[in-house]
Structure 1
Amino acid sequence: MHSRGPTHVDGGQDVAADGATPGFRHDASFYDSAEDLAAVAAPFLLEGLDAGDGAVLAVSPESTSVLREALGNHPLVLVLEQHALYRSRTPTAIRTFRGLGEQAGPGRRVRVVGEVDFGVTAADRTEWQRYEAVINHAFAASPLWGLCVFDTRRLSDAVLAGARDSHPHLVTAAGRGANPDFVDPATYLAGLPVPDEPLERTPPALAAEDVTDLIGLRHTIRRVLSAVDGPADVVEDFLLAVDEMTSNGTRHGRRPVGLRLWTAPGRLVCTIRDAGPGPTDPFAGYGPAHGEDLSAGGMGLWLARQLCDHVALRRDADGSSVRLTTGWT
């Protein structure tokens, strides 16, 4: 376990008054053995079950085995498969957990022990670090209580540091308390670097410096992508995301709107740039801009994050850009 613990202990066994919906809680716990994991996570779920909360496990197969045993294979604990949930596209997890929160009983929460799979690339890691900060905002009004667990033997120093920055509370076997290292989510997101993409330093398969004919550009992009040896559904999703982001640039940005597209074995990258400032909301694209009213628009970035493996927003003195990346094996 990390030697530095919470600054105060708070069991947190509260019930919202008059059955009101309780808000989101987002805790972190660091472990270096199966015993450490079980000592924190099992009581968290069992206490919740006793109080009428829902209980969910979304951890690695190894952690699932440890915790199921510690929980006595409790029949009311919902077990989610880690890989299916924590894929490279964070909207999957956001939608899943939001849906679970909607099933909470009056005045209660759904408790989740989660163990994010941070992937193997810098882009994967950065996206899931963003996710950990984003959900403080995205789930603020949701009746969810997340206990995110981090294996200090396996995870990098960068991931562990990000975990401390993005969780308002820490939990150890001694109790729960405020995290002195927590960083305001918007500030944290602003400080995360955009991972490098080597393909951007090579000649593109297609370049358009001042887009004015969206229909013509769409046909040209489709011709370029038709030569790509990749899964048809992945390529089609990528085309739709490129179309959405280019349309966004022409509608909401400033001319000129430019596009560069790269293709490589097992990988597609497209950067769309315009002279405007780009989105100012640090949480843009992690939910529909107008909530559940899909007819109100504001869906471009939200769709792009679902259709592509990675979406990177950048801003400089000349304007802003969005980089879309997807791949396959």
Structure 2
Amino acid sequence: MSVLGTSGCALSGGREHRHDGLVCDGDEHLVRAAAPFLQAGLEAGEAAVIATTPRAAGALRDAVGSHPLLHVVDRAGAYQGRTPTAITSLRRLTDRYTGDGVPRVRVVGEVDFGATERHWLEWQRYESVVNEALAGRPLWGLCVFDARRLPAPLLDAALATHPALLEPGGAPADNPRFVDPADYLRDLPVPEEPLEATPPRLTALDVREFVGLRHALATELAGTRAHPDAVEDLLLAADEMVSNAVRHGAPPVSLRLWTAEDRIVCTIGDGGPGWDNAFAGYGPAHGDDLSRGGMGLWLARQLCDHVDISGGPGGDGVRVRLTVRLR
């Protein structure tokens, strides 16, 4: 076992979920491909949801026309800030509409990848993870990528993370560039953190319990400009990761803390045998049965802006790096 404990993603064995991509170069291209996709769903009695930029949503709504099963939702609400929350939002959206009796939900969505490569990485992970994390849900997602404004790495990610690509006219075609999600996630880099090359603000090299350590962490963070909510998020996430390491990992369990004007960084490591679950933390380990635990890494991913994991199977332990940005 390791610092991650049992916090993997509970994946369904079903394959009702579809996850297609559309790389387009303008509104006309978008409408020619996505409008027939939405119309086909409406004609089959399925719900159709648009969660794109306002401009794209307007073009699609005009093309499809008014329909009681067509819904335009706020993109920021559908893809809430952090990726596990976005996955939860899509699950709930699907459950809400299918609970009203529709057989399936079609979603045309457009992620806001953010302004930096560091933010891009979180959503690149998301685009691959949802192939498994939403498996079994009666959801057919169509992810829109605007070739006019997205950088090449994100367009490459679009091709690597979608099993099929939509053609003009709304027909999906198998994507030969699709990469198995587990392989794709393992190959994504763990970005360097410059703060780690500097002396930590707090170091604990052999953690056996968290009460005293939490007090020390809180004391250090009280001397920063961090908002109390950001401090509490980091404390809770670190608590979960240290608890997993102490309960399930091998000693020594360590913690290091760095602070800067724009972020807090905390690493937790253990001496366990390593880890090889690419989907860990994108859902509770035991699905909807939260009473069984397995929520540590899932909570950490929701509380922190970035969660980076290093240490593969057979390696020298596992390290989780938590980053909370100070806004």
Whether the TM-score (by the shorter chain) exceeds 0.5 is yes
SS in 2 for 1:285: coil
Q: Provide the aligned C-alpha RMSD in A.
A: 1.7
Matched, 1:134 2:132: no
TM-score by length of 2: 0.90
User: Cα–Cα, structure 1 residues 299 and 208, in superposed 2: closer, same or farther, change >3 Å?
Assistant: same
CA deviations over 1:133-189 (Å, ceiling 9, x no partner): 111111110000001111011111111111111111111115311111111111111
Matches for 1:1-329 after TM superposition, within 5 Å: 23-102=16-95, 103-104=97-98, 108-174=103-169, 175-315=171-311, 317-329=315-327
Instruction: Percent identity, please.
Output: 55
Q: Which runs of 5+ in 1 are unaligned?
A: 1-20
CA distance in 1, matches of 2:193, 2:67: 46
Asked if the contact 2:31/2:59 (under 8 Å) is kept, the reply is yes
Q: Partners of 2:293 and 2:25 in 1: how far apart?
A: 46
Query: Is the 2:49–2:71 Cα contact (8 Å) retained in structure 1?
Result: yes
Instruction: State the Cα distance separating 1:117 from its structure 2 match.
Output: 1.0
**Cα distance in 2, alignment partners of residues 73 and 205 from structure 1:** 58
| Cα distance between partner residues in 1 of 2:81 and 2:101 | 33
Taking the aligned partners of 2:199 and 2:234, their CA distance within structure 1 comes to 20
Number of aligned positions between the proteins: 309
- CA distance 1:107–1:59, change in 2 (3 Å): closer
Whether the aligned pair in 1 keeps the contact of 2:50 and 2:108 (CA below 8 Å) is yes
What is the TM-score of this pair, normalised by structure 1?
0.90
SS at match of 2:143: strand
- Alignment gaps of 5+ in structure 2: 1-13
CA 179–268 in structure 1, closer or farther in 2 if over 3 Å, else same: same
Deviations, residues 200-243 of structure 1 (Å, cap 9, x unaligned): 11111101111123211111111111122122112111110011
